Amino acid sequence: MSASAETLENVSQAVDASTADRTPTPAGERYAVRASGVRRVFSGRAVLDGVDLALKKGDFVALLGPSGTGKTTLLRIIGGLDIADEGHVVVPRLRSIVFQEPRLVPSQRVWRNVALGARRPRAARRRALDALAEVGIDQHAMAWPRTLSGGEAQRVALARALVTEPDLLLLDEPFASLDALTRIKMHDLLAALCAKHQPAVVLVTHDVDEAILLADRVLVLSNGTIALDQHVDIEKPRRRDDPRFLELRATLLEQLGIARTVGGEGADVPSDH
C-alpha cells in the first residue's frame, strides 16, 4: 500500500492495513479499486454481503443486476458517498461520478459547472472549455443549464467528470434517461473518451446491451454478492449482431433470471428507479 498511498484513499470504515496489503499486487500493476468483503445492511437486509472487487487502471467494468441488488449502493461506497458496514475499500483520491441526472448547478453557466471539479482555479476556465470541446458542446459553454436538452446536460456532466482526469470514473446509469438515438451517440463518446484517458471505469446499468458494448468485464450482482464475473472477449468496436455478442447476451439474461432465446426482444432489466 505504501507505493500508492498518496493517490489512494481508504474509504472503508475499519481499516486493516495488513489485510489490504495481502491483496497480490504484481509489480508495475496499480490497482485503482480494491474492495473486499464489502457488506452493507439497510434496515436488517444485507444489500451487499461480501462483495470483492479489484480494478486496474484502464479497466472498464459494467455492473448488472436486477432492481434492489445493491448496484448503486456498491457504486456509492466506492465513490465515497456511502460507507460500508464491513469490509475494506481502497480507491483513488481522484475520482468522479456521473449520475443518472446531470446534477448541474442551475445558477452557474455550463463552463462553470464543468470547472466545479477543477483543482487549480486559474487554469479552470481553459480546461473546462477543453473538456466541453471533447464532449462536443463547447458552443454551449456560456449557456445556463436549464436551456440544455437532456443529452446535452449529460454531456456536460461527463465533461465535468473528466476535467479532473480522474483515476476512477463511476457511472450510475448515466444514459438511462436519454432517448435511444442520443444514447447510441453517448456510448460512442464514452468509449472514445475512456480509451483516450484510460481511467478505471465502473458502469452501473440495467441495459445488458450497453454493458456488453462498452465493458471489458461484466459483473452480475445477485443476492448481495457478485454472481458472475464475465470477461468480454470481443474486439471493439462491437456489433450487436456479432454471434459472440448474442451468446453473451443470452448468458447474462439467463443469469439475471430472464430466460430468452438468442436475439429475443427486451434486453432491459427493470430499472432501480
Query: Which residues contact other proteins (rule: CB under 8 A)?
Result: 79-81, 93-97, 99, 101, 103, 105-109, 116-117, 142-147, 160, 164, 170
Among residues 107 and 223, whose Cβ is nearest to other proteins? 107
CB of 197 to other proteins, least distance (A): 16
Among residues 193 and 218, whose Cβ is nearest to other proteins? 193
Grouping H, G, I as helix, E, B as strand and the rest as coil, residue 229 is strand
CB of 171 to other proteins, least distance (A): 12
Among residues 199 and 224, whose Cβ is nearest to other proteins? 199
Among residues 36 and 164, whose Cβ is nearest to other proteins? 164
CB of 159 to other proteins, least distance (A): 12
Distances, alpha carbon 103 to alpha carbons 93, 133, 155, 187, 242, in Å: 21, 20, 12, 20, 36
Q: In 10 A of CB 54, how many CB atoms?
A: 17
Distances, alpha carbon 206 to alpha carbons 47, 62, 273, in Å: 17, 10, 11
CB of 69 to other proteins, least distance (A): 21
Q: In 10 A of CB 117, how many CB atoms?
A: 20
CB of 153 to other proteins, least distance (A): 12
Among residues 109 and 238, whose Cβ is nearest to other proteins? 109
Q: In 10 A of CB 41, how many CB atoms?
A: 14
Q: What is the DSSP letter of 115?
A: H
Output the 3-class SS for 39-73: EEEECCEEEEEEEEEEEECCCEEEEECCCCCCHHH
Rounded Cα distance, 26 and 128, in Å: 36
CB of 131 to other proteins, least distance (A): 13
Among residues 129 and 267, whose Cβ is nearest to other proteins? 129
* Residue 29 and residue 56 in contact, taking contact as beta carbons nearer than 8 Å: yes
